[in-house]
Chains A and B, each alone.
Chain A
Amino acid sequence: RKEVEQDPGPFNVPEGATVAFNCTYSNSASQSFFWYRQDCRKEPKLLMSVYSSGNEDGRFTAQLNRASQYISLLIRDSKLSDSATYLCVVNPMLNFNKFYFGSGTKLNVKP
């Protein structure tokens, strides 16, 4: 079983739409969670960390559900520039510096 699983998409949405991605993780002891963004032919970059209480950064909201072992990313008022692949990342408690990356969810925002 993979450590982190994501729906690969693609999610095709119009500008201004709200879109949500989920990601599930297998290690119930995991403590740190992140969303990374990867543009086509570029390196992954941190989008936001995911805190237990949930957190918001502008149009982006991240949530953690420990009981069901999933994290989510909500994007409101989608922009063309949001088109990218979004990688879910989990960091098991025992090793604070070893990340497990999901395979990514591709988002296409259309005009």
Chain B
Amino acid sequence: DAGVIQSPRHEVTEMGQEVTLRCKPISGHDYLFWYRQTMMRGLELLIYFNNNVPIDDSGMPEDRFSAKMPNASFSTLKIQPSEPRDSAVYFCASSFYQGPYEQYFGPGTRLTVT
């Protein structure tokens, strides 16, 4: 079975540009999570969805960040405009409500904003 799929794997962009990260969760999973990982702050939860509905976006740093999940098999995280401090690895993860609650992570998108 395919795991969580993320694209692109690497993204280099200039400050001020729009960045869109994509995620396809594991089929049948009803929770989807977006995380950001940096050396300084570790792994931070940005937002998560249940059955395509955003449940908790308290980790989204500011209005420049937005996330959508138009259907059960696709989600996007958008940063507009991007800033150098957004440079990080962004992970998408999915899980199944019925347990055992393990979250399966995608390979991540390494974002560099210059």
- A: residues with CB less than 8 A from B are 32, 34, 42-46, 49, 87, 91, 95-104
Pairwise interchain contact B100-A101, C-beta atoms closer than 8 A: no
List 19 other contacts, CB 8 Å, given A91-B101, A97-B31, A98-B45.
A42-B107, A43-B105, A43-B106, A43-B107, A46-B102, A46-B103, A49-B100, A87-B43, A96-B97, A97-B101, A98-B48, A98-B56, A99-B33, A99-B103, A100-B45, A101-B35, A101-B43, A103-B42, A103-B43
Pairwise interchain contact A97-B95, C-beta atoms closer than 8 A: yes
Q: Report the Cα distance A102→B44, complex, angstroms.
A: 10
B50 within 8 Å of A by Cβ?
A: yes
**How far is the CB of A38 from the nearest CB of chain B, in Å?**
9
**How far is the CB of B60 from the nearest CB of chain A, in Å?**
14
- B: residues with CB less than 8 A from A are 31, 33, 35, 42-43, 45, 48, 50, 56, 91, 95, 97, 99-103, 105-108
- Specify which chain A residues have a CB less than 8 angstroms from the CB of B91 in the assembled complex: 43-44
Q: Report the Cα distance A45→B43, complex, angstroms.
A: 13
Q: Which residue of B lies closest to A43 (CB)?
A: B105
Main secondary structure of the interface of B (DSSP, over half): strand
**How far is the CB of B4 from the nearest CB of chain A, in Å?**
8
Q: Report the Cα distance A43→B100, complex, angstroms.
A: 19
- Specify which chain B residues have a CB less than 8 angstroms from the CB of A99 in the assembled complex: 33, 45, 103
Q: Which residue of B lies closest to A8 (CB)?
A: B42
Pairwise interchain contact B107-A104, C-beta atoms closer than 8 A: no
Q: Which residue of B lies closest to A101 (CB)?
A: B43
Which residue from B43, B45, B48, B97 sits with its C-beta under 8 Å from A44?
A: B43
Pairwise interchain contact B43-A32, C-beta atoms closer than 8 A: no
Which residue from B31, B42, B101, B105 sits with its C-beta under 8 Å from A32?
A: B101
